[in-house]
Structures are given as structure tokens and as C-alpha cells.
Structure 1
Amino acid sequence: MPESVLAGPLARGSFDGVAATAERPPLAFTSRVGQGVNTGQAWDLAAGAPLGPPIPDFPADRADWAFGVPAGSPTVAWTHRDRLHVHDLGTGRDVTLDAHPDLLGLAVHHGRAAVVAVFGPASDAEVAVWDALTGDRLAGFHLWLGHGSAVDRRLLHATPATGPLVALTGDSATTLLDLERGEEIAAVPTAAGTLVPSPDGLVLVCPTPDDLGVHGLDGARIASLSVPAPVDQTAAALVDGHLLVAAVLRDAPDTLFAWNTAAPAPSHRVKLPAPANDLALAPDGTLLAATDTALYTARPHGNR
């Protein structure tokens, strides 16, 4: 029987999206819906406090921004009014580009922090890569996305562990792109919810109607996690050598379950006061849930 864990509010308000760093220090970034203006905010999870001032005119939609540590410094990229903005939280440096992509991600391109953008249409999608510090264009190539568009998909990364790799996931398949080679290097015939480092290397966490599958980048299933009911959103992190996973129940979005993938059964159950809009797992084991009433945190695997 999963152990019940309480979630507490880190901040009150309406939060649409949340993301966390893949490696320590444990930092997070949120998009928040406000009265008249939406904001983006970085968080120091060890201190339980905001990190720096909020960013005004920040997109609420999670597809319009990306956060991570591509090369030594936490970085957030977002789109606003046909411009692509990149902000280095460590140095305060800003870069603005004339672009409004359909999807955003972060990567490491030959050792440099990079912003990745995907533009539709599906038959001739374009992938562009810019230096996150200078705005210089580093790479670009075209991609066929089949019978769909970039708008229907998500771009997954977990910098710096993912390096030059990003995963483009849709309803039924996941494509792995190597940005330095400028090409697709693999395709997994299932939709991934998360790309994350693990004890087995980079893996994809893929929700199915029957379970949660953990797959290698070659598509091979490494683990199967049992679910009490179909799940929707997922989050995952490598914490103290263990791959931890969390997911929201599709028909009860205020109920989360957490797994240590060393065992197939869920270890913890987290009940939220409101449905989750987005999830993230930080490298210290902190689970974050963005909701319409608050940004909630829980520690389903104890203090680490």
C-alpha cells in the first residue's frame, strides 16, 4: 500500500507550469498567471524561496518556455511577441532573437549552452540552435514530422545530462535528435512523458493505458511500473543514484503517485488540494505541482 504524503504550498497563486534542474543545486522555475500580467519565477528549493526577481510578460503556456542548466548556469528561454528571450539566471545576461518557434528546449552544443527551437509545418519542420549567451546561430536542419505539426508535440531535455540530444514526442512516437550531427538518430514507437538521466543512462518514461514504461534510447523496455489507474502527466529525476518517477492520475488530477523504479509498485501517494497543471521532480527528491491555487511541494521519498 503506497504511503500517503502531504503536500504543502511553497507559494500561493495560479501556476500553469513548473520545471526543475536535472542536477544539483535543486532549482525550479514556474510560470504564473497574474491579474493583467503573467510572470516567470526561479526558485531555490533548498531555501524554499524565490531566486531573483520575477520576469514580467512571461508566457503561461508551458510549451512556450524551457528551463535547465545547459552549461554551468541556470537558464530560462521563452517567447513573447514574436521574440525569443534567453536569460542566464547566474549572470543576469539577456539575449533576444527575432523568432517565435512552436517548441523550445535547451541543450549543450559542442560545450556551449544552447537554445533549441522547432518551427512547423510538419512536412518541412525546421530545427534551429542558437548560442544561449551570444545569440549566434550554431546549427539548423529540416525535419519531417509526418502527419502532424510541431504544435502537437513536446520537446524534452534534461540538461546537462542530455548534452546535444533532445526528444521530440507526440501522441504515439518519440524522435531523438542529435543537434551536433543535425539529424534524427532514433525513433521510439511510444509517446514519452519525460527524458531523464538514470542509473542505466538516459531513459524515456512513457505512460501507457496499463503502466508506466521506462525505455532506453534504443526503445528497449528497462522497467514497467504498475499504476492504480491510467496516468497522464509525468516527472522524473535521478536522486542519490535512484530513478524516481511521479505521475498524475488522468481521471483524478489532484492525486499523484510516486515510484522508486527499483520496484514496480508505487511507493507513495500525494493528494493535492487542487488539480495539477504541471509536475516536476528536483534532484533532491522534491516533487513540485503547479495548480490554480498554489505551487505545492512534497517529499515522497523523505529528506535526502
Structure 2
Amino acid sequence: MPESVLADLLAHGSFDSVAATAEGPPLAFASQAGPGANAGRAWDPTTGLALGPPIPDFPAERAEWAFGAPAGSPVVTWTHRDRVHVHDLGTGHELSLDGQPELLGLAVHTGRGAVVAVFGPANDAEVIVWDALTGDRLTEFPLWLGHQTAIDRWILHATPVTGPLIGLPGDSAVTLLDVERGDEITSLPARAVLAPSPDGLVLVQPTPSVLRVRGLDGDPVADLTAPAPCDQVAATLADGRLLVAAAVEDDPGTVLAWDPSTSEPSHRVKIPAPVNDLALTPDGTLLTATDEGLYQTRLCGRATSPAQAPAKPNPSSTWT
């Protein structure tokens, strides 16, 4: 039986989406609904503190923003009013570029942090890659997405470990691209998330009965048993092992977590509200965005007590 644990409240408010760094110190970025417009904000899950002032007029949709650490420093990029904005949280450096792409992601291009933008329409798309620090255009190339469109979804990446690779999820397949070469590497028949693991990069695909872990060559790595269909999958490398979490479709306030060394779920996390989005940090912290708050649950290292009451949010973790 999985261990039942309660989620701790990190911040009050209504949150549409959340993302986390894949390597280095655990950092998260979330889009929070506000009067008239959303705001974006970085969080340190270790201390429970918000980092820096909120970013106003931030998009709610995950396709329109991306967060990661492509070259060692955490970067968030988003679109607003026909501009692509890139903000380095480590240095405070920010730049603005022309364009309103359908999808945004992050990658590493020739050792440099890069912003990847996909412009539609889906059957005649164009990919542009910019240097995240200088805004220089590093490369551009056409892309045929056809019916396996990623428009209205989001770019898969886990920088810096994914390097120049990004994933474009379609209706029935994930297309892996190398943005340095401008080439399609492979296309796998799955809707999945891309994550680092002890076996290298893997795709974690939800199916009606299991979460299937595959290598980039398509070979199966593990099948994770689920008692019910799951969606909104997150995965990361934590404590040297792959950690997977997914929301249960018929129980919107429940998230299951797996350590793929065993096929059964290790944790059942109860969230006080339906989950809008979820993410995992490299120290094994699960972050869940809901309409009632941003929650966190430590799944690795320090155990979370089943009887532990939700923590009070830090006063600095709210914005007005």
C-alpha cells in the first residue's frame, strides 16, 4: 500500500501552472491568477520563500512560458503582447525579442542557454532558437508537424540535462528534435513527459492501466502500476533515481508517486483541491498548483508525516 501523506501549503492563491528546475538547487516557478491578469513568481521550496518581485501580465497557459536552468542559471521565458521576454533569475538580466510563438521552451545550444520558439501553423511550422543571454538568433529551421501537432500543448525539456533535445508532444506521438542540428531525432508513439533518469533520458507515458517508462530508442524501461487512469505526469531524477508523479483522473485531489525500482506507487498525496498542474524538483519535492493554493510535498529525504498539518505560508509568499 502506498504511504498516504498530506500536502503542505506553500502559498495562498489560485495557481494555473507550475514548473521546476531539473538540476541544481530546487527552484520552482508558478503562474498565479490575479485581478485582471496572472503574475509569475519564483519560489524556493526548501525555505518556502518567494524569490524576487512577481512578473505582471504573465501567461496562464504552459505553452506560453518555460522555466529551467539551461546554462546553470535559472531562466524564465514568456510571451506578452507580441514579445518574447527572457529573464535570468540569477543575475536579473532581462531581454525582449520580437514574436508571438505558439510554443516556448529552453535548451542548450553549443554550450549556451537558448530559448526555443515554435511558430505555427502546425503543418508549416518554423523553429527559431535565440541565445538566452544576448538575444542573438542561433538557428532557425522549418518543421512539419502535420496532424501530430504540439500547438496548444508545450515543449518538453529538462535543461540542462536534455542539452539540445526538445520534445514536441502530438495527438499520438512525441517528436524529438535536436535544435543544434535542426533535425528530427525520432518520433515515438506516446503522449509523455521527458525526464532524466539513471538510464539516461526517458519518456514517461500515461496509459489507462500503467505509466510506461521508455528510453529514447523506444525500448521499455519500466511499467508503473496505477489503480486508476492518470494524467498530468511529472518526472525527474532525485537522489540518483527516477521519481514519477501523476494526478489521478477520477480523484482530482490525489497525486500518486512512484520510485520505479518497484512497480507499485510509493506515496498517495492528498491535495485539498483539484490539481491544475504539477512538477518535481531534484530534491524530490512535489509541487502542485491548484485554485486554492500552491502546495508542496517532500517525497525523498525527509519523510512527510501522515498526521502533519499543512504548514502556514510565509508572509512573503503572497503578492498583491
C-alpha deviations, 1:114-171, integer Å up to 9, x for none? Answer: 0001111122111110000111100111111122544244210000000000011122
2:63/2:152 contact within 8 Å kept: no
Distance in 2 (alpha carbons) for counterparts of 1:62 and 1:124:
22
C-alpha deviations, 1:188-207, integer Å up to 9, x for none? Answer: 11111x21110000111111
- The aligned counterpart of 1:285 is 284
- The aligned counterpart of 2:87 is 87
- The aligned counterpart of 2:121 is 121
Q: Which amino acid aligns with 1:165?
A: L
Structure 1 stretch displaced more, 198-207 or 144-153: 144-153
Distance in 1 (alpha carbons) for counterparts of 2:30 and 2:119:
24
SS class of match (2:58): coil
Q: Which amino acid aligns with 1:2?
A: P
TM-score using structure 2 length: 0.93
What are the ranges of 5 or more consecutive residues in structure 2 without an aligned counterpart? 304-320
Distance in 1 (alpha carbons) for counterparts of 2:36 and 2:173:
38
**Equivalent residues, number:** 303
Q: How far has the Cα of 1:52 moved from its partner?
A: 1.1
SS class of match (2:236): strand
Is the counterpart of residue 259 in structure 1 residue 250 in structure 2? no
Distance in 2 (alpha carbons) for counterparts of 1:153 and 1:17:
13
1:118/1:150 contact within 8 Å kept: no
Q: Which amino acid aligns with 2:68?
A: G
1:121/1:149 contact within 8 Å kept: no
TM-score using structure 1 length: 0.97
Distance in 2 (alpha carbons) for counterparts of 1:167 and 1:300:
26
Going from structure 1 to structure 2, the CA distance change for 1:148 and 1:240 (only over 3 Å counts) comes to closer
Distance in 1 (alpha carbons) for counterparts of 2:218 and 2:148:
22
- The aligned counterpart of 2:175 is 175
C-alpha deviations, 1:167-225, integer Å up to 9, x for none? Answer: 11122100100001101011111111x21110000111111112100011111111000
- The aligned counterpart of 2:35 is 35
Distance in 2 (alpha carbons) for counterparts of 1:152 and 1:87:
23
Distance in 1 (alpha carbons) for counterparts of 2:24 and 2:166:
20
Distance in 2 (alpha carbons) for counterparts of 1:303 and 1:72:
26
Distance in 1 (alpha carbons) for counterparts of 2:83 and 2:218:
36
SS class of match (1:123): helix
C-alpha deviations, 1:250-301, integer Å up to 9, x for none? Answer: 1222111000011100011011110000000000111000000100011233
Distance in 1 (alpha carbons) for counterparts of 2:55 and 2:18:
14
Q: How far has the Cα of 1:302 moved from its partner?
A: 4.2
Structure 1 stretch displaced more, 224-233 or 52-61: 52-61
Distance in 1 (alpha carbons) for counterparts of 2:250 and 2:155:
25
- The aligned counterpart of 2:65 is 65
Pick the structure with more strand per residue.
Answer: 1
Q: Show structure 1 runs of 4+ deviating over 6 A.
A: none
Distance in 2 (alpha carbons) for counterparts of 1:41 and 1:152:
22
- The aligned counterpart of 1:272 is 271
Which fold has the larger relative contact order, with Cα–Cα distance below 8 Å and residues 6 or more apart in sequence?
Answer: 2
Q: How far has the Cα of 1:62 moved from its partner?
A: 1.7
Structure 2 counterparts to residues 136-155 of structure 1, below 5 A: 136-147=136-147, 149-155=149-155
Distance in 2 (alpha carbons) for counterparts of 1:43 and 1:277:
18
Going from structure 1 to structure 2, the CA distance change for 1:12 and 1:196 (only over 3 Å counts) comes to same
1:9/1:295 contact within 8 Å kept: yes
- The aligned counterpart of 2:12 is 12
- The aligned counterpart of 1:78 is 78
Structure 1 stretch displaced more, 140-149 or 220-229: 140-149
2:5/2:268 contact within 8 Å kept: yes
Q: Which amino acid aligns with 1:50?
A: A
What are the ranges of 5 or more consecutive residues in structure 1 without an aligned counterpart? none
